[in-house]
Amino acid sequence: MAGLRRIRWDALSLKLVFGLLAGIALVFLVLPTAVVLLTSFTSSQSLRFPPPGLSFRWYLALLDADQMQRAAWNSLVVAFWTTLLSGACGTAAALAIARSRSPLMRAADLLFMSPLLLPALSFGFAALIFINRLGLSPNIPLLVLGHVIVCVPFVLRTTLASLSQLDASLLEASESLGAGRLTTFRRVTLPLIGPGIGAGAFLAFMASFDNVPVSLILADERTEMLPIHLWQQIETNLDVRTAAASGAIVIATLILMLLAERFAGLTRQMH
């Protein structure tokens, strides 16, 4: 009897400890998002939490925030072009890497993934020096290229993962039935790796829209990006419109995440 109790206690204590740690961690994971959302609906002038009352007044105030709107538009435009370029070049590169075993391709893979680990600020600074040496000054197309460097690893990773799960016999079947390479790609490969590309493109879009280190250094004076603008607001005058803008970003992110989950199986692509 004593032995049985010991085994039960043993199993129970493991579940208890792991459950407790996971529980605490999950609360801390969700807490900031919940706090931002609630604070953005505050009726008061200050950022006190919990808010004394709820209202839409700060969201309405966003309608007049010209500077913030311009910054949001700039960020959307840059994120759009970054996603398009990363999606196209990243998918093409993933196809080449997945089909080859040459060491050169392994090296290319390593190179393309390295921006994920290296300090983005150092890369942004390097790009600025480079642009300067070429006699150019920062502009939007160069900023987009900078964003592509730090965002393309996301597309590459998810696309390579879905390519590795692609059943080669499907491609052989298609080609033996007389379909050309292009048709096989369009009708077989692309639909099967589509969710992988989609999830990667979504992650690249979010990473670009959210990028600070590269934008901070490569955006020119006239083109302010949203995260940089919000950062300056937070550092200087913490007004509640910042909370409303943050709330709007959180809501948009949640909607996009649910869409990405619905159409690309985002959570399945992530591990």
Residues numbered 189-208 forming contacts with other proteins, rule: CB under 8 A:
203, 206
**The dihedral sign for the CA sequence 91, 92, 96, 97:** negative
Nearest to 47 by CA among 55, 38, 59: 38
Report DSSP state, residue 216: H
Strand partners, 42: 54
Q: Does 64 bind other proteins (CB under 8 A)?
A: no
Tokens coding 124: 């942004």
Angle at CA of residue 215, ends 35 and 256, nearest 5°: 45
Considering only residues 93, 197, 240, 264, which one is a binding residue for other proteins as defined by CB under 8 A?
93
Inter-residue contact 218 to 127 (CB < 8 Å): yes
Residue 113 in the binding site for other proteins (CB under 8 A): no
Out of 45, 55, 60, 126, name the contact with other proteins by CB under 8 A: 126
Q: Kindly state whether residue 242 participates in binding other proteins, applying the rule CB under 8 A.
A: yes
Q: Please pick, from the candidates 77, 140, 145, 179, the single residue that binds other proteins as defined by CB under 8 A.
A: 145
- 60 binds other proteins per the rule CB under 8 A: no
61 touches other proteins (CB under 8 A) = no
Q: Is 71 in the site for other proteins (CB under 8 A)?
A: no
Contact 202, 86 (CB under 8 A): no
Tell me: does residue 139 bind other proteins (CB under 8 A).
Answer: no
* Contact range with other proteins by CB under 8 A, out of 26-34, 62-70, 163-171, 172-180: 26-34
- Which position among 169, 235, 237, 262 is part of the footprint of other proteins (CB under 8 A)? 235
Smallest distance, other proteins to C-beta of residue 252, A: 10
Distance of CA 242 to the CA centre of its chain: 21
Residues 59 and 248: beta-carbon distance below 8 Å: yes
* Residues 33-52, interacting with other proteins (CB under 8 A): 33, 35-36, 39, 47-50
Size of the site for other proteins (CB under 8 A): 92
Q: Give the whole-angstrom CA distance, residue 168 versus residue 156.
A: 20
Half-sphere exposure at residue 154, Cβ-oriented, CA atoms within 13 angstroms? 24
DSSP 3-state of 42: strand
Residue numbers 172-191 binding other proteins by CB under 8 A:
none
Question: In this chain, which stretch among 56-64, 108-116, 169-177, 188-196 interacts with other proteins, using CB under 8 A?
Answer: 108-116
* Three-state secondary structure call for residue 49: coil
Assess 267 for contact with other proteins (CB under 8 A): yes
Task: Show Cβ contacts of residue 207 under 8 Å, excluding neighbours closer than 6 positions.
Answer: 150, 151, 154
> Residue 248 CB, nearest distance to other proteins (Å)?
10
Q: Considering the rule CB under 8 A, would residue 218 count as an interface residue with other proteins?
A: no
Nearest residue (CB) to other proteins, 8 versus 187: 8
